[in-house]
Amino acid sequence: MCGDMHQHTTYTDGDNPIRTVNSMNHRFGLDGWANAEHCGGWIKDGYDPILSHGFDTGQYARFWDDRRIFPPGNILGDVSRSYGHRKMWRWQSLRDHSFADTLAARSVYKKRALIQGLEWHVPGRDDASVAVLTGQFGASPSARALAAFEYMFDDSDRDQTGGRFQGWTKSRLTGYAKAIEAARRLQSNHPGAGWLIPVHPERANL
C-alpha cells in the first residue's frame, strides 16, 4: 500500500486547499492519506470553491474572523492574533472543520483510507505525526479524541479555556516530561488505534 501520513493545506501553512490536496492524492494513486496540519492557532480555513483548476496558491482561503462569512462567536477559547486576524485554535478546527472535510472526502474516494491526523509540536523535542483513530469511524464519527490530545499536550497550543468546557484538562507538565505523559496517554487510552511517528529526522533534538 502507498500512503502519505503528513500533509498540510490552507488550514495551516500549506499552499493548497484540502479538496485540492485530496484530489491530487487520488490522482497520484495513493491508497490512503492523513490530513496532518500543524497544531497551535491559525487564521485561515481550508475553503476551495473551485476544484477543477488543480493546484492554486490558497487565494480562496478565508479568515476565521471574517464576519461576512462566519458568525460572531464562532472562534472559541482564548484570543490570539496574527497578521491582524484572530486565530482559531487547532483543536477547534480539527473538531469542527477539517474533520468534516475528511468525512466529505470519504464519500468521494470510497476505496481510499482517509484519516484525520495532526503534526504535533512535541514539548521539548521536534515534531511528530500523530493520529487517534478512536471515534473517527462508525455511526457517529468525530475527531474529539484527537482534538483533546492537541489541546492537552501540544507545545504551541496556548489556549487555556476552550477545552475546559468539554472536560479536557491541560497538562501541567512542561518539556520532555509533558511529551512522555502524552505518549503514555495515547498508549493507555488508545492502544492499537493510532500512531506517533517522529518527523523531520534530519533535525537535531529528536
Closest CA to 153 of 135, 133, 179: 179
For residue range 74-94, list pLDDT tens digits in order: 999 999 999 999 999 999 999
- Best CA proximity match to 144, nearest among 178, 125, 123, 167: 167
Nearest to 112 by CA among 30, 24, 194, 193: 30
Residue 203 located in a structural domain: no
Asked, for residue 206, whether it belongs to a domain, the answer is no
- Contact (Cβ atoms closer than 8 angstroms) between residue 37 and residue 120: no
| Mean pLDDT, all residues of the chain | 90
What pLDDT, on the 0 to 100 scale, is given for residue 93? 96
Q: Which residues pair with 88 in a beta bridge?
A: 42
pLDDT digits (tens, 9 = 90+) for 133-166: 999 999 999 999 999 999 999 999 999 999 988 8
Has residue 110 got a pLDDT over 50? yes
- Please indicate, yes or no, if residue 89 is contained in any of the structural domains: yes
Its domain, for residue 131, covers: 3-198
Residue pair 135/141 in contact (Cβ under 8 Å)? The answer is: yes
CA angle 161, 130, 184 (to 5 degrees): 75
Ranges 9-23, 26-40, 63-77: which has the least confidence: 9-23
Whether 204 maps to a domain, the answer reads no
Domains in the chain, number: 1
Confidence (pLDDT) at 60:
63
Cα–Cα distance for residue pair 31/25, rounded to 1 Å: 9
Predicted confidence (pLDDT) at residue 205 exceeds the cutoff of 70: no
pLDDT reported for residue 48: 65
Rounded to the nearest 10°, the torsion over CA 68, 71, 75, 79 is 70
Residue 177: the pLDDT is 97
- CA–CA distance, 38 with 35 (Å, rounded to integer): 10
Position 126 scores a pLDDT of 86
Contact 149, 186 (CB under 8 A): yes
Report yes or no on 180 lying in a domain: yes
Q: What percent of the chain has pLDDT over 90?
A: 76
Quick check: is 205 in a domain?
no
Q: What are 118-135's pLDDT values in tens digits? A: 999 999 888 999 999 999
Res 200: pLDDT = 80
Statement: residue 5 has pLDDT above 70: yes
Question: Does residue 56 carry a pLDDT above 70?
Answer: no
User: In terms of pLDDT, which residue wins out, 82 or 14?
Assistant: 82
Q: Describe the strand order of the beta sheet including 113-121 as a list of residue ranges.
A: 3-7, 32-38, 113-121, 127-132, 194-198
Does the predicted TM-score (pTM) go above 0.85?
Answer: yes
Give the model's pLDDT for residue 50: 55
pLDDT at 20 > cutoff 70: yes
Instruction: Tell me what the mean pLDDT of segment 160-184 comes to.
Output: 94
Mean pLDDT of 4-30: 91
